Amino acid sequence: MDVMDVARSIGLVDRGGRTATGTIEEGAVLAAISELAAAAPDHEDLFADTAMQVQLARSAGVVEPDAMSVLHRARREAVQLRYRSEMAALFVDLAIDVGLRAAAALPA
């Protein structure tokens, strides 16, 4: 599983390779990292470090459940938002780290 393909799939990077703007739910980013970790257990430490960086990243706000809202009525818990550009940068760093580790494992 390719790290940048996953970043594209959750909307952190567009098809042209440009970083998306706006916000994204922290849970979506962490779920994507979990998916990557399950697919590549040899790099679990890199994924765990990135997940921690996501949780420590600057907040882009919190969406509270709102019974009067059409969009947020079904939510039971508050949703932490993060900035897409910052999450994209974490995925780029992760892709580099995974790539360097894979290159180091190749026979010389």
Per residue in 11-44, pLDDT (tens digit) is 998 777 777 889 999 999 999 999 999 999 999 9
pTM, 2 dp: 0.87
Nearest CA to 9 among 91, 81, 100?
Answer: 91
User: Band of the pLDDT at 1, cuts 50, 70, 90?
Assistant: confident
Over range 57-81, report the average pLDDT.
81
pLDDT at residue 88 above 90?
Answer: yes
Query: Using CA atoms, how far apart are residues 75 and 9, in angstroms rounded to an integer?
Result: 23
Closest to 86 in 3D by CA, of 5, 3, 26:
26
Q: What's the rounded mean pLDDT across residues 4-11? A: 94
Q: What is the pLDDT of residue 10?
A: 95
Nearest Cα to 97, choosing from 34, 46, 41, 40? 46
Q: Considering the chain, what percentage of its residues have pLDDT values greater than 90?
A: 69
As a whole number of angstroms, the distance between CA 54 and CA 36 comes to 15
Are the beta carbons of 84 and 11 closer than 8 angstroms?
yes
Q: How many CA atoms lie within 13 A of 11 on its CB side?
A: 10
